[in-house]
Amino acid sequence: MQYTIESRELTEVHLRRTTVEARDADEAISRFVRDSNSELMSFTKLARGLESIATVKKNDALFLVRVYTD
């Protein structure tokens, strides 16, 4: 399945969009964190199950990350 990952630095307004192939949202965020040399701070699957939200740290910046299927 293809997942879109949107990340936005919490102090910036610029949105970065990445697409990854993964079995599920857990694998998608894991690949994103590994590929971007970041650290996963939190990961929450929303009740409706179509989207997940994470907080990711890279260097001294925190990012709000949205994971969803296309």
Encode the chain (70 residues) as per-residue pLDDT tens digits. 899 999 998 877 788 899 999 999 899 999 999 999 999 999 998 867 678 999 999 998 999 999 988 7
In degrees, to the nearest 5, what angle opens at C-alpha 11 toward C-alphas 61 and 15? 90
pLDDT at residue number 49: 66
pLDDT at residue number 43: 93
Q: Buried b / exposed e across 46-70, counting CB within 10 Å, b at 16+?
A: eeeeeebbbebeeeeeebebbbeee
What gap in Å lies between CA 65 and CA 70, rounded to an integer? 15
pLDDT at residue number 12: 72
Report the residue count for the chain.
70
Token pair, residue 48, equals: 């409706």
